[in-house]
Amino acid sequence: MSERHQQFQSLLKSNAEAVEALLERLLSTDLQAGEIARPERLLAAMRHGVLNGGKRLRPFLVIESAALFPGVERETALRIGAALECIHCYSLVHDDLPAMDDDDMRRGQPTVHIAFDEAAAILAGDSLLTLAFDIVAAPETRLPDATKTALVLALARAAGIGGMAGGQALDLAAEKQAPDEDGIVALQAMKTGALLRFACEAGAIVAGASAGDRSTLRRYGETVGLAFQIADDLLDLTADAETMGKATGKDAERGKATLVSRRGQAWAENRLRELVTEAEALLAPFSHRAGILIETAHFIANRRN
Ligand code: GRG
């Protein structure tokens, strides 16, 4: 294992622990100003959907993208990462519902609607989505108001109709009528790519980086987003449920076309190598400071769960 890979692994672990600790505080019974009550069972359902050992890859990308620039408080980047993780977890809770992907297992444990019930899962997802914007806007997030507004806008665009939620709608429609390859690329860029792109761009927004650097990180985010999806489709085809902590083979079972199912494993592996090279080229202007993000691109392309 290279020294850089070891450094990456240890940062992934320490960042995940910090995110977990912050999410634990944000999802405590402590009432925040303006809140009337935190209903016990809803809070428990939210905690079940969040505090359950995800990789915390999206917060990691926020934190490490921000770390490219001088002067960003780690705690601030951590809060934006935690906000994004709340949106990611909401999407998983809702995606697992019977009306969507109908899954019983997630991150190796029963999904929220199984552990609680469907109404609790819907409300837990709704509350997590709302909490994300609460975290960005809250006074504890020490950023200028204009930066917070830019984050809220970019996050809303990534999560809403033109991003993740829209991509999920296209994905459901694709089960009835298979899209062509451009359609598959577009729906995946929305469904899973948009949040990963936001994660990287958010680092630049938090840092008040130049428009050029923000655009570079956005493109890096799009590139690793594409790699994430191809790796995910490959794993759905090849990995077992125990390794993944969720059901696999779902795409084939639902007759869902992916680029990997159409073009095959060899194509996917080659495309992943190309995408890592593209990510490295994009980050070249940041020279040695980009080592961790380059390692992250390798990790995303080669991940085994
Ligand atoms: C319900 C609005 C709405 C959207 C759902 C993202 C999404 C859209 C659904 C998730 C379904 C899914 C399993 C997609 C594959 C890619 C993906 C998001 C995998 C899970 O992300 P990881 O690997 O998981 O980062 P952890 O558990 O580590 O956070």
Of all protein residues, the one whose alpha carbon is nearest to atom 27 of ligand 1 is 54
Share of the chain above pLDDT 70, in %: 94
Report pTM: 0.95
Domain residue limits at 269: 3-302
Q: Which of 38-52, 66-80, 85-99, 247-261 has the lowest mean pLDDT?
A: 247-261
pLDDT digit string (tens) for 242-251?
665 666 666 6
Q: Which atom number of ligand 1 is nearest to the Cα of residue 228?
A: 16
CATH code at 252?
A: 1.10.600.10
* Number of domains the chain is built from: 1
Residues 17-44 have a mean pLDDT of 98
Of all protein residues, the one whose alpha carbon is nearest to atom 14 of ligand 1 is 192
Residues 169-195 have a mean pLDDT of 96
Rounded to the nearest whole angstrom, what is the distance from the C-alpha of residue 88 to the centroid of ligand 1? Answer: 7
pLDDT digit string (tens) for 191-238?
999 999 999 999 999 999 999 999 999 999 999 999 999 999 999 888
Ligand 1 site-directed mutation target among 91, 188, 299, 303, most atoms within 8 Å of CB: 91
Tokens of 109: 């444990």
Q: Which atom number of ligand 1 is nearest to the Cα of residue 192?
A: 6
SS3 per residue for the chain: CCHHHHHHHHHHHHHHHHHHHHHHHHCCCCCCCCCCCCCHHHHHHHHHHHCCCCCCHHHHHHHHHHCCCCCCCHHHHHHHHHHHHHHHHHHHHHHCCCCCCCCCEECCEECHHHHCCHHHHHHHHHHHHHHHHHHHHCCCCCCCHHHHHHHHHHHHHHHCCCCHHHHHHHHHHHCCCCCCHHHHHHHHHHHHHHHHHHHHHHHHHHHCCCHHHHHHHHHHHHHHHHHHHHHHHHHHHHCCHHHHCCCCCHHHHCCCCCHHHHHCHHHHHHHHHHHHHHHHHHHHHHHHHHHHHHHHHHHHHHCCC
Q: What does the pLDDT read at residue 252?
A: 65
Would you say the CB of residue 94 lies under 6 angstroms from ligand 1?
yes
Query: Residue 274, Cβ neighbours under 10 Å: how many?
Result: 13
Compute the distance between CA of residue 87 and CA of residue 127 in angstroms, rounded to an integer: 10
Compute the distance between CA of residue 290 and CA of residue 138 in angstroms, rounded to an integer: 30
Buried b (16+ CB within 10 A) or exposed e, 226-243: bbbbbbbbbbbbebeeee
Sign of CA dihedral 178, 181, 186, 190: positive
Share of the chain above pLDDT 90, in %: 90
Would you say the CB of residue 54 lies under 6 angstroms from ligand 1?
yes
Q: What does the pLDDT read at residue 240?
A: 65
